[in-house]
Amino acid sequence: MLFCYAGLIALCLSILKATLLLTRNLPVAAKTDIQASKNSLRATGAIFALPDYAVVEVTGRDAERFLHSQTTNDVKGMKGSDGQSSALLDRKAHVLALFDVFRLHEKYMLLIPSGQWEKVIAQLDAFRFADKVEFEKREGNLFAVQGPRARRLLMQAGAKTADDLALPMSELTLFGIAASVFSKSLTGEEGYVVFVDEKHSEQFWKEIQKAAPKLGFVEPDEKAIDTARIEAGLVSFGVDLTDENLMPETGLDVSHVSYTKGCFLGQEVLARVKSHGAPSRGLVGLLFKDFEGCRTQVPFKLNTEILHESQPIGWIQSNCFSPSLNKYVALAYVKREYRIVGKSFAVSIDGKPFNIEIALLPFITPPTAAQRARQLYEEALESFAKEKDDDETSHAESLLREALMLEPTMEDAYEALGVILSRRNRLDEAVTLMKALVDLNADSVMAHANLSVFYMQQGLIEQAEEEKAISMSIRMRMAAKEATRERQEEEEKKRQKEEAVGRMDMFSQVLEIDSEDLLANSGMGNCLVTLDEFERALPYLQKAIEVKPTHTVAYVDLAKAFAGLNRKEEAAETLQKGIEVASKRGDMMPLKQMQAQLKELN
């Protein structure tokens, strides 16, 4: 069904019908706290319907060029199977809509939340002109699968390999039903959004409801879902921002905007704001240090004013009690001079006193899939040490298989699982497992060495010797490669130092003319840090900061110089000051770099 304004009523009725269908078949939502039990969203996972979401398919010979010119991110840079966050802006860089763009070969899919699909299509259609591009809203329903075991649930539902789910978008068969699977976190955890056509939606929901509880999944209520969203620092259009908000003040330009792609609507204003530093206000997190309010209700209405010394310094958006942090938290727009990460303020909200701390979003960062896989591996080793070879089941085996779903190339997990299978005299399975590892990494020493052992146990001497020879050949090649890498690293360090010496001559000439030159002082200090001449670097970097106190790069280098001299206290003070400056300016890259440096010092 190609979009046209005449068909708008029919589309709306279709959505209403789909929503009623889902609502009729949804059970009463379990009021499950997201962090309260062993089976919870953050511990295992959650499933829930997304009646407000829509998928719009964009096709036509001009689809790539058209989307690239109209949206804020770099569509032309997308590969054969790729995904990115994007937006539509007006001419003044106000946010009109937020969505995700997915590419599957020559087809593009827009995953659009919060009932914005009509606005998105209308905006795109208004600028279509002679472009050969068509928009079609796909008829069907969307479901969320979120949490640490999301991948495992979809594997059991029919995804053939973990690699299928590592892609931003896949066309899969789940429970025997064709589905489009989008990699999309709605809660901060690893997660997926699954689209199923309207005809099969009810059957899919029934199937996943039956399968999910076996893995400890819950069906959270709307409050729990929203709490997870807030903890993850994810904004909701129509709640935390509207079309009155400038893109830079939301902080979403970091993930939703390409500043190098060329022109798009609102691009000039964005570039101008970026060149002049941070906007007058920006979205940050608030931690309430002494909040004793009720955990079950939201006490602050949207845009509630925050007063400090009787002056407004910010406006509260989404807010809730965070079970993960055991604190009350809020998203808020805060004025630039108060937007200092880690800074605390005594404030008044709704006439009541509070102590708040400015926090960088997200409030929580759950472990990545690779980190979870490592945790499962360690847990499996502990479990295996307690198991006997004649045990009917192996908890360690189950944990290792789950680890491999999360990290398909984790060689340690392959080896441990191979040992378990061989100890239980399941040598054929052990061999198949190691061959699978060879398919993933033909140069895996571990895979070939274990194949040699397993073949020997099977009495296949010739195959065992062949695998042993392959393993030895790879070891020798890897040793040579490592030696080459070390030599290249040394050469690169030498090149950087030679380049630094060359740049110093240029900076020296500038400083002879103008000893106050910002870039020359900052550049000279950076070169001396590169040469490990930390004492000489100090006066140049200090002068750069004196000339321009908001030059965040100089704080990074100055802290490195103090740390190189083992003057950790001064390094920490420099970083704290730099973090304050970067927070006010919205310089996210140096801000995160300095936070990492400060963490290393501690």
- In this model, does residue 29 exceed pLDDT 50? no
Count Cβ atoms below 10 Å from residue 477 Cβ, excluding itself.
12
Both structure tokens of 465:
């010797």
Q: For the residues 65-90, what does the mean pLDDT come to? A: 95
Q: How far is CA 596 from the centre of its chain?
A: 18
Q: Residue 223 — φ and ψ, nearest 5°?
A: -65, -45
The model's confidence at residue 33, banded by pLDDT at 50, 70 and 90, is low
- Return the SS3 of 466: helix
CATH of domain 280-366: 2.40.30.110
**End-to-end alpha-carbon separation of the chain, Å?**
59
Instruction: Quote the pLDDT of residue 35.
Output: 62
Instruction: Quote the pLDDT of residue 294.
Output: 53
User: What CA–CA distance (Å, rounded) separates 368 from 359?
Assistant: 21
Equal CATH topology for 280-366 and 386-479: no
Contact between 598 and 575 (Cβ < 8 Å):
yes
Instruction: Quote the pLDDT of residue 80.
Output: 81
pTM value is 0.80
Instruction: Quote the pLDDT of residue 177.
Output: 98
Could you please state the CATH topology (level 3) that the domain comprising 514-601 is classified under.
1.25.40
Could you please state the CATH topology (level 3) that the domain comprising 386-479 is classified under.
1.25.40
Please state the domain extents for the chain. 5-229, 280-366, 386-479, 514-601
Q: Which residues pair with 174 in a beta bridge?
A: 177
The verdict on whether omega for the bond into residue 220 sits within 30 degrees of 0, i.e. cis, is no
Instruction: Quote the pLDDT of residue 9.
Output: 31
- Tens of pLDDT, residues 123-138: 999 999 889 999 999 9
User: What CA–CA distance (Å, rounded) separates 52 from 143?
Assistant: 10
Question: Phi/psi zone of residue 217: left (φ > 0), alpha (ψ -120 to 50 degrees), beta?
Answer: beta
Instruction: Quote the pLDDT of residue 467.
Output: 97
The model's confidence at residue 160, banded by pLDDT at 50, 70 and 90, is confident
Instruction: Tell me which of 155-169, 234-248, 293-307, 352-366 is least confident.
Output: 293-307
- Tens of pLDDT, residues 187-209: 999 999 999 999 999 999 999 99
CATH superfamily placement of domain 5-229: Probable tRNA modification gtpase trme; domain 1 (3.30.1360.120)
Instruction: Quote the pLDDT of residue 16.
Output: 34
Q: Are strands 169-174 and 140-146 parallel, antiparallel or unpaired?
A: unpaired
- In this model, does residue 6 exceed pLDDT 60? no
Instruction: Quote the pLDDT of residue 21.
Output: 36
Q: For the residues 448-462, what does the mean pLDDT come to? A: 96
Share of residues in the chain with pLDDT > 90 (%): 78
Q: Which residues pair with 357 in a beta bridge?
A: 287, 344
User: What CA–CA distance (Å, rounded) separates 456 from 273?
Assistant: 68
The model's confidence at residue 409, banded by pLDDT at 50, 70 and 90, is confident
Instruction: Quote the pLDDT of residue 388.
Output: 87
- In this model, does residue 11 exceed pLDDT 50? no
- In this model, does residue 391 exceed pLDDT 50? yes
Q: For the residues 37-57, what does the mean pLDDT come to? A: 91
Contact between 452 and 468 (Cβ < 8 Å):
yes
Instruction: Tell me which of 38-42, 237-241, 415-419, 538-542 is least confident.
Output: 38-42
Contact between 232 and 363 (Cβ < 8 Å):
yes
User: What CA–CA distance (Å, rounded) separates 560 from 601?
Assistant: 10
Bigger pLDDT: 296 vs 194: 194
- Tens of pLDDT, residues 477-504: 999 999 999 999 999 999 999 999 999 9
- In this model, does residue 30 exceed pLDDT 70? no
Instruction: Tell me which of 9-23, 93-107, 245-259, 371-385 is least confident.
Output: 9-23
- Tens of pLDDT, residues 331-352: 999 999 999 988 999 999 999 9
Share of residues in the chain with pLDDT > 70 (%): 92
Return mean pLDDT, the chain.
90
- Return the SS3 of 591: helix
Instruction: Quote the pLDDT of residue 297.
Output: 57
- In this model, does residue 584 exceed pLDDT 90? no
Quick one: 463 exposed, middle or buried, by C-beta within 10 A (0-12, 13-18, 19+)? middle
